[in-house]
Homo-oligomer: A and B are copies of this chain.
Amino acid sequence: MRLKELALHLGLSQTTVSRALNGYPEVNEETRRRVLDAARRHGYQPNANARRLATGRAGAIGIVLPTDRNMLLDPHYMEFQAGLGETLLADEIDIVLSPTRGSDEMATYQRMAVGSRVDGVVLSSPLIADDRVRVLTELGLPFVLHGRTESPVPHAWIDIDNEGAFRHATKHLIDLGHRRIGLVNGETRFTFARDREAGFRSALAARGIAVDERFVASGVMSDEIGYRITERFLAETPRPTALLVSSMMMSLGAFRAIRAAGLELGRDVSMIAHDDVFPFLNPDVMVPTMSTTRSSIRAAGKRVGELLKELVEGRAAETIHELWPVELVVRASTGPAPDD
């Protein structure tokens, strides 16, 4: 059923029907009711592409998915997408995915922008120096950065307070008597990892504790790397009595390494992991339950969707800066430092 047929059927012009359907005020209420009713009865659904062409808006936002940058292929994306959808779906805005091999990434943005396939894009997992901000700004394609990067160009971003989170977590461990604390971090080219390390160091410095560089390591946030780094930490003498871990996935590996070393989590070694809140990785049901710095990545996705919508509708990018606090949830994986 096309708009034309529907109009004919109702004995109205396309104009009026279109207006009635799109909620314009200059339509008689009685008429609008008839139109909406007929539309529903006939299962009328406007042709998305015709509308897009006519309005000049794509009614879609894009996500570029780097299929080779390992780190990005993890579950974070999925949760984020789910959150994004919560906002956008209500407005019939599509999410367009563009899986891309690393080097083509910029070309993909270009294609999206110029071909007006999307009205805006989401940028995830920014590097400390991330060129995408500049490129997208030049392309004139609106975007919201999920995370932060160093760029002279004003742009919209929303991030969690990674530094504060790890500062608090470290402080908490110090308060429990820990002095040798290890950091099992994500790759340091990402801003979030750098910020977490900064929080970690500043908490130690505030208490006058020197950082033992043997206990600072980073890598892909996988079970495997978590295992390897922790294994190495624990082989040192004296070993760290507490660990800060950048992801739940890594914490699983860290936990295995702790057990493999014959140690007990929460007694011999304490651990606080960052939790992005995945439905399949629940710190509350782990044994022992895991202390975490928590911030829902799905909630972030939802908010990014909202902001992106406002941005596309004209809100100035430089007015969009949100820094979300991160909650420290103490559970059973942290305890007082053992006696030396």
Contacts and interface: CB of A to CB of B under 8 A. Distances in A.
Nearest to A63: B97
Interface in A28-81: 43, 45-50, 52-53, 58, 60, 63, 65, 67, 70, 73-75, 77-79, 81
A187 interface: no
Interface in A76-99: 77-79, 81-82, 84-86, 89, 92, 94-99
Contacts of A52: 49
Interface residues of A, number: 62
Interface in A277-334: 278-282, 285-287
This chain's copy number in the assembly:
2
Contact of A67 (B53, B82, B94, B282): B82
B82 A89 contact: no
A17 interface: no
A114 B43 contact: yes
A227 interface: yes
Interface string A118-136: 0000000000000000000
A45 B115 contact: yes
Contact of A77 (B78, B92, B227): B78
A67 B47 contact: no
Given A43-B110, A85-B98, A224-B281, 13 more contacts: A49-B52, A49-B58, A77-B78, A81-B99, A89-B98, A94-B97, A95-B97, A222-B281, A223-B286, A224-B280, A224-B285, A227-B285, A252-B252
Interface of A: 43, 45-50, 52-53, 58, 60, 63, 65, 67, 70, 73-75, 77-79, 81-82, 84-86, 89, 92, 94-100, 110-111, 114-117, 220-224, 227-228, 249, 252, 255-256, 259-260, 278-282, 285-287
